[in-house]
Structure formats: structure tokens, C-alpha cells
Structure 1
Amino acid sequence: MKIRVLDFETTDQADEKAKGKTVGIVEIGFTDVDGITGEVSPTESYLVNSGIPIPPQARAVHHISDDMVKDGLPPDEAYRLLMAHMEPGDLFCAHNAAFERTFFAGGVHAWICTMICAKHLWEEAPSYSNQALRYWLDIDRDMQWPTIAMPPHRAGPDSYVTAHILSRMISTHHPSSLLQLTNTPVLQKRVMFGEKHRGQLWADMDRGFLEWVLSPGKNFDEETRRTARHWLNKQSGLSGTPFA
């Protein structure tokens, strides 16, 4: 079983694309991982010319310019490369897979999200970005070609780092378990916002705080709201799914 770890650099964020804005890919990177042994293969990366100007705020992240991509691959050709040599039963993977899947569905192949899996497996991690996990797990010592991991925020290096995070997960969990974790909603262990409550256990939060998080007009992400709803339900003695 092959797991192809993807990373994209783009002209804007996925949520802007979801709102109807035209957003393009400017670079793809992928690194294959053996789903049984966790062995990491060499990385491939390609610049992509989506025909969409790269704004300064995007360049500030990945430092890719319009001039750099003018001879890049057309998007359709880049997508074909991502599908090349993918066999039945092979998987795709990305860190925050929802982002990559906004641009590339991956056909019939299922996806592993290493960020979601990390939240389930490593509750004490200080952060769940791939670079933070890289150093927290000290995965550089596992890298056969450490220079490939640099610079950050480029598609090839980021896919290589994520591939090693995945490999570390495979050392203790079969890919089928990682697929299951990917599709299991995350409950946060600790509050991750606010000067007063940051770092405290959600289990210790009082009813007033939980109701405040869930009150209309509060713009918390769904994961945070789900966690607050779970603990409010627990305090109310409600039974059933904790994700209701």
C-alpha cells in the first residue's frame, strides 16, 4: 500500500475559494510513504501556472512569483502527475487535508489527515502545524535527506516533513486506524484561547463559560464549538453522542 503525501502552495486560502473567489495552485509537492513499513521515498515538486496572478500576501508565505511559474505545468497536467501510479487501495494524505481536497479530490482514493490524527494521538503537543510537530517529535533524525525539508512553506519540503509525521504515526497505528481517526471528530483537551482560560482543561470549564462559547455571534471554529457543546451536554446529564 502506497500513501501519497501532498502539499500545495496557492494564490489564496481555501475558504476564499469556497466563497467563489478564483484561487489557483502555484506549486505541488508529493512524497510517497510505504503504508506498512513507513519508509519515505524521495520527494517530487513542480511549479504550476494556474493563470492567476499571485498576490503579495500569498508570496509572503511561499515566496513564489508570477515570473517563477510562467513556464510551470498547466493545472490539469499537475493533477495527472498526482494520480500517476496510484493503485487500488493506495491512499492520499495531507496535513490539514481539507485544504488540499478543496483543490484536488483524489478520485476514489481515501485521505488521511495528519493534523486531525495528531490531535487524537498527541494531546500534549504544543501546536499542530506540521513544522511544530516536526520539532516536537524530533523527526529530523528520521530523515534520510534532511536538506529536502527546507525551506518551509514550499510544497516539496512541506510534503516531506508531513511524510515523516505520517511515518511516525504508522509505527504505532495501521493506516486503516489513521483513516478512522481522520473521520472521527476531534474533542480538544485544553482551551486554546484567552488569557484567563488558555491551557486549562475543557473538563474544568463552568457552565457559564461553555454557554458563552456557544452563544450567537461568537465566531469560534466548529472544533471549539463541538468541544464546548460536548462538555455542556455532560454537565446537563444528556446522553447520546458527544458530538451532538
Structure 2
Amino acid sequence: MNDLFPPAPTMPGLFDSPVSPMVRIIDTETAGQKLAEDAVIEIGSVDLDLSTGAISNPMQTFCDPAGVPISPGARKVHHITDEMLAGAPPFAEAVRPFATETYAAQRADFDRSRLRLTGRWLCTYKLALRAFPDVRAHGLQSLVKYVPLDLSSVDGMLAGLHPHRALFDAVCTAVLLRRIADELMPRCHDLRDFLERAERASNEPALLAKLRFGRHKGVPIAEVPSDYLEWLVAEPEMSADAVFTARRQLALRRVRGERALPQAARTAL
């Protein structure tokens, strides 16, 4: 698809205030419960200057889970113990220093729903799908490996940390967003345009590069037959990401005057 990062439908204002290039990349570890019952137990963040690529201001804190039990599955991932949380501040106090104007997170819907910080949110997972659609997988550590991401500039921040802890993942996500901006910013008029496009893409369902199920599992979307995409759209229990992706691909084919998409045409896309 040629419109993976299309312009945002906004009109430039004559008196728009300057846009800050600073984005706070943030990550949370939680008790691993359902959203309504979950508790944030760790927050980590760094700041990325999109104008220079500089990553700075690492912050990290534990949070008191207020009696919410940490699930065994969550403990197995982040290895945070009750002893590590002893004396931690309550969430409302712990989250206060992290407030800013623009945030980014991998799978931002998860962090945004738990942190409840107001502002602009960017999702590096959804943006990576548009910047690097051909990468094998789009989880954070997969992107580090397969893009690949050069972490040498943040070695000092990562020292003593490990994946699935809040600050480690925030630092890696900052490097990811910097690389995404390198890829997508040249398609934009300016920083404001990039942020508006990125925010819109982050608020939409994920635009998948490949299907993850069914007889076309692992096949690039551009090569999936139109009748199968039409079936996806019509299925009432289909995921929002799959439906959104199928609709976008079908709309693109309509613009091109295609429907059946014979094999030769699929290969050419």
C-alpha cells in the first residue's frame, strides 16, 4: 500500500503556536489483572527530542499496588517482587512527575488506559507497522532485532536493566520512535504534520502487514484475494485490526479498478 502514512485531514492555522519536539516515551508494568481491577506497579520513561534525536531524562518509580495481587503470569514476565514494592508511593503520587503534553508507548492503548494521563498519545507499535511493514514481527524486542535498532547510544541508560522492566522498555521504545521518525518524517511537511499524522494513525486500529490466522496466515495483505478480504469485513466477530486492514486494502483496490486481483497483479504490488 502506498498510503501507509497518509496526510491528516487538518487545516493549518495562521496563529498556531510552535509545536514542541519533546515526546515522553513511557512504559508501565502492572499486576496483570483485567483493566478495571489492574494496578500499575512500575512506571519508567525517557524523553525524546524529535528535532535532534537526543534521548534524555530517564525516570523510574515503583507504585504501591494498593492490595491488588500480582498475577503469577505478570511476575514471570517482569520479576517484580512484593519486597521490591515495599514502601513504594501510591499510584496517584507516583504518576504525577510523569505528566507532560505528548507521550509515546509501545501498545499505547494499554499504558494510556492505566496511567490516565491526558495529552497526545503515539503508539509505536501501530506506527512501526506503517514504517516497517515487512519486518517479521512488531513486538518491541522483535523490532530491536529485525529492523534492526542500534541501541549503542543508550547503553548507559540500559546498564543493569533487562527487558520487560519499565525503564528498559521505555528506552528501547524511544530508540524505536526515533527510527520511525527517521523513516516517516521525510513524508511530512514539518514536525506538526508528522505529529498529527502519527496521532491519527495511533488512534486508528492497527494496519496489519500480514494476516495472523486462517488460510492466508502470514501472507502480505496486498497478496490476499479480495473475496477473502470481503469475508473478513463481513464477519461480526472479526478483530477491529483485521477489519480495518481489509477495508483499507479493498478501498485501495477500488481506486485502482481491481477486484479479483489475479496472481500476477498480486505479485506486482
Quote the offset at 1:202 in angstroms: 2.3
Distance 1:130 1:182 in 2: 19
How far 1:37 moved relative to its partner? Answer: 0.4
Change (3 A) 1:62 1:211: same
Distance between the aligned counterparts of 1:149 and 1:33, measured in 2? Answer: 21
Is the CA contact (8 Å cut-off) linking 1:140 and 1:146 kept in structure 2?
Answer: no
CA distance in 1 between counterparts of 2:63 and 2:41 reads 5
Offset at 1:232? Answer: 4.5
Deviation at 1:238, TM superposition (A): 11
Unaligned runs of 5+ in 1: 240-244
Residues 72 and 96 of structure 1, relative CA distance in 2, 3 Å threshold: same
Query: Per-residue deviation at 1:178?
Result: 4.0
Q: 2:241 aligns with which of 223, 226, 233?
A: 223
- Does the Cα contact within 8 Å between 1:149 and 1:157 map onto a contact in 2? no
Instruction: Indicate yes or no: 2:26 matched with 1:6.
Output: yes
Instruction: Specify whether residues 142 and 198 from structure 1 end up closer, same or farther in structure 2 by C-alpha distance, changes over 3 A only.
Output: farther
Q: Any conservation in 1 of the 2:149–2:175 contact (CA below 8 Å)?
A: no
Alignment of 1:12-51 (within 5 A): 12=32, 16-17=34-35, 21-51=36-66
> Residue 190 of structure 1 aligns with which residue?
210
Alpha-carbon distance, 1:80 to partner: 0.8
The separation in 2 between residues aligned to 1:159 and 1:103, in whole angstroms, is: 16
Q: What percent of counterpart residues are identical?
A: 27
Pairing 1:5-154 to 2, within 5 Å after superposition: 5-12=25-32, 16-17=34-35, 21-51=36-66, 52-83=68-99, 86=100, 90-107=101-118, 109-136=119-146, 137-145=148-156, 147-148=158-159, 150-154=161-165
Unaligned runs of at least 5 residues, structure 2: 1-19, 258-269
What is the deviation of 1:217? Answer: 5.3
Q: Write out per-residue CA displacement over residues 42-69 of structure 1, whole angstroms, 9 at most, x where no aligned residue.
A: 5221111121121212111111122321
Aligned length, in residue pairs: 226
Root-mean-square deviation (Å)? 2.6
Which of residues 217, 222, 244 in structure 2 aligns to 1:203? 222
Once residues 159 and 43 of structure 1 are traced to their aligned partners in structure 2, the CA distance between those partners, rounded to angstroms, is 9
Deviation at 1:227, TM superposition (A): 1.7
| Aligned counterparts, 1:150-169, within 5 A | 150-169=161-180
Deviations 1:81-132 (A, max 9, x none): 212xx4xxx421111111111012323x312211111111111111111111
User: Secondary structure in 1 aligned to 2:137?
Assistant: coil
Q: Which amino acid aligns with 1:65?
A: T
Could you tell me how far apart the structure 2 residues matched to 1:212 and 1:28 are? Answer: 41
**TM-score of the pair, normalised by structure 1:** 0.81
CA contact (8 A) 2:126 2:207 kept: no
